[in-house]
Chains A and B, each alone.
Chain A
Amino acid sequence: MTAPARQFGDVILKVEGVCLAFGGVKALTDISFDVREHEIRAIIGPNGAGKSSMLNVINGVYHPQHGKVTYRGHTRTAMEPHFAAQNGIARTFQSLALFKGMSVLDNLLAGRNLMIRSNILLQALRVGPALREEVHHRKRVEEIIDFLEIQHVRKTPVGRLPYGLQKRVDLGRALAAEPKVLLLDEPMAGMNVEEKQDMCRFILDVNDEFGTTIVLIEHDMGVVMDLSDRVVVLDYGKMIGDGTPDEIRSNQAVIDAYLGVKH
């Protein structure tokens, strides 16, 4: 089956001249790149290159000292997490952000927190609009459960699941917010080959079926090259490459950073 040439929309997210420092440590220096709608954009780089910091800048956890982030036409120096979340940026975390004692179902429902409109009293009483709303949210969550094929653990507390499955639930939690842009922080870290393949398939399906734009950080080069449309390469907080996987593969600066150079 040959997939048709991929079509991308306008630039949805743009990072310009971002510098971030913690005291004297420069985490990011003058980073600029853009993300187009529907594309899968990867950020790669060796350990400590500033990949996670970059994601944290995008969704407003870190505030850069210089530069600006433009998201859907709004330009800001510092994104705020709540603004990001309310405007359709969701993310997963390298070290999972799930309620371990709660069931998978409840975790995913919690992911829809921002979309719940009825007030707490009505919700507590489960009457009228609150009940209708809950049924609606539950339906959307069930669709995600079906999509990620985690029906068999629907009622299992997350803490009892194997790590690979928890990662999938974390993705589900982010998806529950129906994001426009999904930030994935090392979605495949610590997984075995089979789990990685599953995760790749889910990421591609999310991108394809929901049209979600995806920005991901990943260590596994094979995965990145197969999965992404364009790749940004960071090294010691500097951007050393930006382009399609093929371009990146032949970029000398990238090869040096990954394979090392003789001094």
Chain B
Amino acid sequence: MASAVAVADTFPKLLAAHARERGESPAIREKDLGIWQSWKWREVAGEVRLLAAGLAARGITRGKHVAVIGDNRPRLYFAQLATQALGGIPVPFYQDAPAPEMTYVFQNAEIEIAIVEDQEQADKLFEILPQCPKLRHIFYDDPRGFRHYKRDELASYDSLRAEGEAWAKDHPDFVDREIAQGRGADTAIMLYTSGTTGMPKGVVLSHDNLVNTSRAYAELEGLRDDEEVLAYLPMAWIGQNLFSYAQWLVTGFRINCPESAETVITDMREIGPTYYFAPPRVLEALLTQVTIRMEDAGRIKRWLYRHFMAVARQVGGRILDGQPVSALDRLHYALGGLFIYAPLRNSLGMSRIRVAYTAGEAIGPDLFVFYRSLGINLKQIYGQTETCVMVCVQHNGQVKPDTVGPPMKGVEIRLLDNGEIVLRSPGLFVEYHQNEEATREAKDAEGWYHTGDAGYFDADGHLKIIDRAKDVGKLQDGTLFAPKYLENKLKFFASIKEAVAFGDGRPEATAMINIDLQAVGDWAERRGIAYAGYQDLAAKPQVYDLIRECVEKVNADLAADPKLSGSQIRRFVVLHKELDADDGELTRTRKVRRRYIAEKYESAIHALYTETDHCWVEAQMRFEDGRTGTVRAQLAVREAKTFPPQPVAKAA
């Protein structure tokens, strides 16, 4: 079927094609005043045409940037489309970004027009207006709170639309001509990456990038135009843009905007999405909620839950993957479906999910397996903003918790000597906006993009991500050492809040561990272990035993890994204080500052690599009232069992 949808190469053309082919079916819904309001494809196309005319009247032309700031609101989606219709480039912002962080982007992209959700966002723009002289107009969607604003820059979305209506009378067909002029190679959108160092970089993505990536996903998963999708993640995130915008326009399914950030769970239950995307932290929050509610439930329910979840862990994933499972186990699982899994899926709003993706960070195997064992087809994908999240995806029936699956069709991957993943793909970004140097650094002359991630392919050709390439080191004997990989494995245990692994250039791998006060505190309470506070609890021999078990489990896991079995953790200490951003030990986004910690806790590291069984540590810490103090403590150093490398178990 060579329909217009299948050949359209830009988003505005896709919208026009949908308006013709499925004009009367709903395209986007928003819950407003307690009711799901919907716009049909035909109506969306009409709105976008008026809005585009309004933007044209205000001077938006090809190549100009328009800021879009707010939660997922249909009108902000229309604003993105209207900008693209004129060949302009929408720049979505994180709605919770503080004003000063927005300044640079406004300056860098020379933004003249901003379309914002509400007063909160407009106030932020007025704050930075003096530093952004180019910004001339701010249009708002929700009029609440604007009654007393007397600013020339400010006008409502409705007035922009009305202006467009009048302007279109004098310039008929203008917008349609502009849409027809658009080419796939044109820039579709610019997304700024936060970047751990320096200023954010504007990643320029073309229509081709996003459309081709979306088509690849649609083909792989057999996406149809009757999928229901919940649009609830920040519009400035590539994941949201790909799954709820690009794929929406490519596939023609329906997106649903929740009422507010707090109602997402209820709204999801009402919509029952069939195609779902969530970063691990969202999945974790949902699981926590389930766990808490189960703990409050009656004894019979608790028993049923525990019993059937154990069954699910054993056979649920295998049934989902279509592997052979005995008839008795199947019956047991079906019974569990009746009592536990189906009601649970329902209360999570996941009853109708056909495909669910998670990406963004490493997901704990327990968390991942929990959802899969319930019969929810959760899969991991791997990609960056620069690659339109099109690198690897797990295929149905071949899902392993610790890999991200094989490369997608059309993606070429090479591994450099230091393990860094470099790739070429149709989704690869055009450039960083006005930053040739950074573009050259990321994308070499032959078009290979350097991800900065290190990984390797396992025996089945699935990619396994282990760490940032620059952090990957080698032990003295040349064994690969990936600190983040070890730390993540440790942190997946509830008792361990933070971990720092050492080993680069050393004879063996060691770790410093932070216990999780709440989890370990509960654990201690249940066992009747009395403790005075964090420092006291962390030093208890029983706690050391608990942590040692975790470390040994990690080691047992590592032993099965062909590349990393040599980097098992031999010795560890449990720190007497929590690593804290206020003390400079973590970044504000809670990433470990390894080098700084190595300096600060030099004596502990010394002890880790000598034969002593304890060390004295003195650490400055900053109290909440701003005072600083020094905490001095004796830490015990313990050894953990290590395991001989195992031959690779061939996955079925």
Contact = CB atoms under 8 A, between A and B. Distances in A.
Task: Indicate whether A and B interact.
Answer: yes
A1 B148 contact: yes
Contacts of A205: 144-145
Interface string B383-411: 00000000000000000000000000000
Interface string B141-166: 00011011100000000000000000
A209 interface: yes
A121 to B, nearest CB: 27
A222 interface: no
A182 B527 CA distance: 55
Given A139-B33, A154-B34, A149 B260 contact: yes
A151 B259 contact: yes
A27 B431 CA distance: 76
B491 to A, nearest CB: 30
Prevailing SS type, chain A contact patch: helix
Interface in A153-206: 154-155, 205
B262 interface: yes
A6 to B, nearest CB: 10
A152 B145 contact: no
A162 to B, nearest CB: 13
A124 interface: no
Contacts of A138: 34
B263 interface: yes
A152 B147 contact: no
A1 B34 contact: no
Contacts of B266: 152, 155
Interface string B258-278: 011011001000000000000
Contacts of A139: 33
A143 interface: yes
B370 to A, nearest CB: 25
A151 B260 contact: yes
Contacts of A142: 33-35
Contacts of A246: none
A220 interface: no
A145 interface: yes
A152 B263 contact: yes
Max count, chain B CB within 10 A of own CB: residue among A142, A145, A152, A155: A152
A3 B635 CA distance: 60
Contacts of B34: 138, 142, 145, 151, 154
A208 B263 contact: no
B125 to A, nearest CB: 13
Given A4-B148, A205-B145, A208-B147, A146 B263 contact: no
Contact of B262 (A145, A151, A155): A151
Nearest to B123: A1
Contacts of B144: 205, 209
A132 B148 CA distance: 35
Interface string A1-40: 1011000000000000000000000000000000000000
A209 B266 CA distance: 29
B152 to A, nearest CB: 14
Contact of B148 (A3, A152, A154): A3
A143 B147 contact: no
Interface in B31-47: 32-35
B33 A209 contact: no
A8 B34 CA distance: 35
Contacts of B33: 139, 142-143, 145-146
A124 B144 CA distance: 36
Contacts of A1: 126, 148-149
B428 to A, nearest CB: 40
A155 B267 CA distance: 12
A124 B220 CA distance: 53
Contacts of B148: 1, 3-4, 208
Interface string A96-130: 00000000000000000000000000000000000
B617 to A, nearest CB: 37
Contacts of A152: 259-260, 262-263, 266
A129 to B, nearest CB: 21
A223 to B, nearest CB: 20
Nearest to B265: A152
Nearest to A155: B266
A208 B263 CA distance: 27
A154 B270 CA distance: 14
A142 B33 CA distance: 5
Contact of B263 (A4, A143, A151): A151
Contact of B147 (A146, A151, A155, A209): A209
Interface in B15-38: 32-35
Nearest to B145: A205
Interface in B246-266: 259-260, 262-263, 266
Nearest to A153: B262
A149 B33 CA distance: 11
A136 to B, nearest CB: 12
Contacts of A155: 266
Contacts of B149: 1
Nearest to A156: B266
Interface in A69-100: none
Contacts of A143: 33
Interface in A32-55: none
A208 B126 CA distance: 22
A3 B146 CA distance: 11
Nearest to B264: A152
A152 B262 CA distance: 6
Nearest to A3: B148
B296 to A, nearest CB: 12
A32 to B, nearest CB: 33
B257 to A, nearest CB: 13
A185 B430 CA distance: 61
B268 to A, nearest CB: 13
Contacts of B263: 151-152
A146 B30 CA distance: 14
Interface string B65-96: 00000000000000000000000000000000
A205 B144 CA distance: 9
A149 B35 CA distance: 15
B147 to A, nearest CB: 7
Given A146-B33, A151-B263, A152-B259, 16 more contacts: A1-B126, A1-B148, A138-B34, A142-B34, A142-B35, A143-B33, A145-B34, A146-B32, A151-B34, A152-B263, A152-B266, A154-B34, A205-B145, A208-B148, A209-B144, A209-B147
Interface of B: 32-35, 126, 144-145, 147-149, 259-260, 262-263, 266
Q: Which 7 A-B pairs have the closest CB atoms?
A: A152-B262, A142-B33, A142-B34, A152-B263, A151-B259, A151-B263, A151-B260
27 contacts: A1-B126, A1-B148, A1-B149, A3-B148, A4-B148, A138-B34, A139-B33, A142-B33, A142-B34, A142-B35, A145-B33, A145-B34, A146-B32, A146-B33, A149-B260, A151-B34, A151-B259, A151-B260, A151-B262, A152-B260, A152-B263, A154-B34, A155-B266, A205-B144, A208-B147, A209-B144, A209-B147
